[in-house]
Amino acid sequence: MAVDGEQQQAHRAGIYKQKNKQHKHGKHRTKGEIERENKGRVAVMALTKKQRKEQRKMDRRHKANQLRRNKKDQVLTEKRKLGSRDGPPHLVAVVALHAEADARAVMKLLQGEDVGGLVHKKAGVETAGDSFGLVLPRFKQRFMFIRPDTADLHALLDVAKVADSLVFVLDSALGWDTYGEYCLSTLFPQGLPSHVLVCTGVAALPVKKRVEARRSLARIIAARFPDARIFPLDSGPDAALLLRHLAMQRQRRLGFRSRRAHLLAQRVTYTPGAAGLGTLHVSGYVRGRPLKVDRIVHIVGHGDFQLRQVDAPPDPLPLLSTSRPPKPGKGEDVEMLDEVTQAEDSAAVRVLMKADPSCRESLQAEAEVDPMDGEQTWPTDSELLEAEEARKNRRVMKVPKGTSEYQATWILDDGEESEDAEESSGSEDDEMMEDENDEMEDKDGSDSKERHYDEHVNEEQEQEELQRYRQARADDAFPDEVDTPLDTPARSRFQRYRGLKSFRSSPWDPLENLPPDYARIFQFQSFERTRQRVLAEAAQEEDGAMVGWYVTLHIEEVPASVMESFQGGRPLVLVSLLPHEQKMSVMHMLVKRHPSNTLPIKSKEQLVFQCGFRRFRASALFSQHTSADKHKMERFLRPNAPTVMSVYAPISFPTAGVLVFKERDNGMQDLVATGHLLASAPDRVVLKRIVLSGHPFKINRRSAVVRYMFFNREDILWFKPVEMRTKWGRRGHIKEALGTHGHMKCVFDKQLPSQDTVLMNLYKRVFPKWTYDPYVPQPLPWVQQEVPADLAEADME
């Protein structure tokens, strides 16, 4: 309260007084003007954020339900079409997994009268030993059964690629044998379709032992087929139950075949043409996707070809409308519809479509190489002067009269001739010593049994395998370590290598120093985006020969060997390729070494690949599977570790299973690795690492004198900028060279232990070899290969 007579002091604002913004008198409309102009209309942005969020949430929920419903309807439609009037027959392959399992008896039971079906012998594969068609009017289903030759691994794998179901015939006591296990090892990574396990011979066992036999067999198959049901097949009712299960079971979808049109050839004719080529006429049911006449077709094991025409002959396996087949006559156990077959053969063939030359895809697999596209650099003045001085200082050599300068460069002088003579004499002496050693070894072999055993042993192969074992063991113990040569300067021997500050973060240009083979391949700007676009377009195609149609394909410029292969009893499988799948590129496959393989597999060794529908031979480059932009090369295929194999091969869009085989000298093929297709990426950088090692000679705190890494002063100065490391984790660099014998003074971040080893990492980029061969010979019947005891116990130090 103020005191009377005293004047009140005015308030002074402090530093914390609030300062409001001034009103901006700009040219803008007021809220009233905006409302009068809109006349009650509400803009879209007037919706609240909550309303917009709820609306987007409901839209996403409805869209997800719609996609789920469409996908479910599509799966149900495909399941109902399989084996029906509108779809292809249910293709079933019967495979025996044991030498004692009788697959022929299974095929005979499926044709019995107790099944209640109509058998069409001519509806199967023409040249197959055991194949037939079966119509079940009661189930409104039609089947086509085929029994591939399990001794031919290629035939078994080709049939499994297109089969809807596999029936594995097991032995009642042992299940499957060694070869059956080998077949399963190849079928699982390739992509196993729906399958059924069948056991024969159970009815012959005593009643008290049947339950125990089934339990022991269930324990055997639990490793491969957990929770699988075993169907006994010893009578007609058992066969009827098996057919009902095949018709109702859930189909497994394999991505590599469901996205491409494919068919199994049932009837094949050949019209010879000029230059050993002709036209192949292949008849079969279209499966997977609709088949277009302008697309390229791939015949598995034979190559890529173009279509000329697609015909529609009559269906050899029609689904009759009668609900019950007629009863067989006396002495007949199988119904043969001869009248229907004759009517089908007399029907006219319709032409569905013909190829348009302007729209047909090309068979060009490699890009056109222009030799003038390379960089041309003009020599500098200094280089011209050096060349002129070298020409003046060139030694004059006497040559015969009339010899040109180009021919004179190929004439050797006396010194070179003497060196060649010494080398030739040395090689002759070595050969004489080897011959004498061979004679001594022959004399020592006095025992007749040992001589008989040695007749079947290839000494060169034994020595080669022993050398490969030693290299693999040395690479495991000392990875990437190499010895510096004594007779060659290290700067010349390792001139293509370079050092990296960090393998993870140091840059490496992927377009630097590319090989000439890269001019022959194709590359995508974005492989994943192209893959999604191509597969999306293939899923929306509705024109062409639809799935389930029985068609005849006219294939142009096919060699006669394809017809000979089909007449020899091997299955013929065709697949329609997606766009760009005939072009060559660098393909990468992620594989893992198979446990059954014990022999070392070296990088860039020729192997046999089965990638999806393709089968070819190539030399693969091994590298580590990492997420970085640079990948270290592996010299050998590592066990229990994923490895990326890079090869020159035609483009294929994932997904697809990969099988890798190694061919023996006798023609057999052993499974060495399995995996899946990764991508096509020519710009994937694979670096080969070498490690130069040195020994610390004198240690003085952080500095040390290192020797045995280099053997002259110039090499030390050349590699001086490269960082070094030790096995104990120290890092350092070269400070200076000491003397002329390769000693150098190095400085490290910490003091070195006396037992430490100094290392220097050098890198260079490597590429695969162009050894692609689409023609793989038929393998001989497989026999398990065992590692010799002397190799397994060899000293690898």
226, 486, 767 from 540: Cα distances, Å: 37, 66, 38
Q: Return the DSSP state at 568.
A: T
| C-alpha torsion sign, points 360, 366, 369, 375 | positive
Backbone angles phi, psi at 455, to 5 degrees: -65, -30
Q: Give the model's pLDDT for residue 425.
A: 47
Q: Is the pLDDT of residue 281 over 90?
A: yes
Cα dist. 211→2, 215, 218 in Å?
A: 113, 6, 11
Helix, strand, or coil here: 57?
Answer: helix
Task: Find the mean pLDDT for residues 268-287.
Answer: 91
Q: What is the mean pLDDT of the chain?
A: 82
Kindly state the tokens that stand for 103: 């697959």
Q: How confident is the model at residue 688 (pLDDT cuts 50, 70, 90)?
A: very high
Question: What pairs with residue 675 in β-bridges?
Answer: 591, 658
d(CA 623, CA 643): 6
Structure confidence at residue 341 as a pLDDT band (50, 70, 90): very low
The least confident of 52-56, 173-177, 280-284, 353-357 is 52-56
Written as six digits, the tokens of 705 are: 């004198």
Per-residue pLDDT tens digits for 184-225: 999 999 999 999 999 988 877 888 788 888 888 888 888 899
Write out pLDDT tens, residues 482-534: 888 888 999 999 999 999 988 989 999 999 889 999 999 999 999 999 999 99
- The answer as to CATH 3.40.50.300 being correct for domain 80-252 is yes
Residue ranges of the chain that CATH labels 2.40.30.10: 259-318+349-361+542-574, 516-539+581-686+770-783
Place of tokens 């070179």: 416
C-alpha radius of gyration, the chain, whole number: 37
Q: Residue 588's beta-bridge partner residues? A: 646, 679
Q: Where in the chain is the domain with CATH 2.40.10.190?
A: 481-500+687-765
Please tell me the distance from the alpha carbon of residue 415 to that of residue 229, in angstroms, as a whole number. 81
In tens, the pLDDT along 605-622 reads: 999 999 999 999 999 999
Q: What are phi and psi of 403, to 5 degrees?
A: -85, 130
| 70 phi/psi in degrees, rounded to 5 | -65, -40
**Segment 473-487, tens digit of pLDDT:** 776 667 888 888 888
Tokens of residue 208, six digits = 């008290």
End-to-end CA distance of the chain: 105
In angstroms, the CA 557 to CA 275 distance is 9
pLDDT for position 175: 86
Can you give the pLDDT at residue 415? 46
Fold of the domain spanning 481-500+687-765: Thrombin, subunit H (2.40.10)
- The pLDDT assigned to 419 comes to 45
pLDDT at 424: 46
Structure tokens at 283: 């008849």
DSSP H or E run through 705: strand 703-707
The mean pLDDT value for 402-428 works out to 48
Residue 121 has, within 13 A of its CA and on its CB side, a CA count of 9
Contact 388, 591 (CB under 8 A): no
- Of 527, 561, 584, 633, which Cα lies nearest the Cα of 770? 584
Q: What is the pLDDT of residue 204?
A: 79
Q: Where do the CATH 3.40.50.300 domains begin and end in the chain?
A: 80-252
Cβ atoms of residues 261 and 553 within 8 Å:
no
At 537-590, the pLDDT tens digits run 988 888 889 998 999 999 999 999 999 999 888 999 999 999 999 999 999 999
* H or E stretch at 96: strand 90-96
pLDDT above 90 for 347: no
**Sorting pLDDT into bands at 50, 70 and 90, what band is 394?**
low
* CATH superfamily, domain at 259-318+349-361+542-574: Translation factors (2.40.30.10)
Q: Give the single-character DSSP code of 487.
A: S
3-state secondary structure at position 215: helix
Least confident of 130-139, 314-323, 560-569, 649-658: 314-323
Determine whether 136 is exposed, middle or buried from the number of CB atoms within 10 Å of its CB (0-12, 13-18, 19+). buried
The mean per-residue pLDDT over the stretch 123-131 comes to 75
Q: Is the peptide bond before 655 cis (omega within 30 degrees of 0)?
A: yes
Q: What is the dihedral angle through the alpha carbons of 93, 97, 102, 107, rounded to the nearest 10 degrees?
A: -10
Residue of 415 and 242 predicted with greater confidence: 242
| Residue 190 burial class via C-beta count within 10 angstroms: exposed 0-12, middle 13-18, buried 19 and up | buried
In this structure, are residues 188 and 671 in contact, taking their beta carbons and an 8 Å threshold? no
**Token pair 């199967």 in the structure block, residue:** 124
Question: Which of residues 437 and 317 earns the better pLDDT score?
Answer: 317
Least confident segment among 276-290, 371-385, 645-659, 782-796: 782-796
Which string of DSSP letters, residue by residue, matches 610-656? EETTEEEEEEPEEEE--SSSEEEB-SB--TTS-EEEEEEEE--PSP-
Specify the pLDDT at position 81.
74
pLDDT surpassing 60 at residue 4: no
**Stronger pLDDT, 397 or 392, i.e. the higher one:** 392
Q: Measure the CA–CA gap between 615 and 634, rounded to whole angstroms.
A: 24
Q: Would you state the pLDDT for residue 344?
A: 46
The answer, as to whether pTM is greater than 0.85, is: no
Q: What is the pLDDT of residues 750-773, one digit of tens each?
A: 999 988 999 999 999 999 999 999
Average pLDDT (698-723) is: 92
Quickly name the fold that domain 516-539+581-686+770-783 has: Elongation Factor Tu (Ef-tu); domain 3 (2.40.30)
Q: What is the pLDDT of residue 129?
A: 63
Cβ atoms within 10 Å, residue 697: 13
pLDDT bin (cut points 50, 70, 90) of residue 324 is very low
Highest mean pLDDT, choosing among 86-90, 292-296, 738-742: 292-296
Amino acid letter, residue 462: E
Q: Is the pLDDT of residue 442 over 90?
A: no
Query: What pLDDT is recorded for position 795?
Result: 40
Distance CA 443, CA 124 (A): 62
- pLDDT at residue 448 tops 70: no
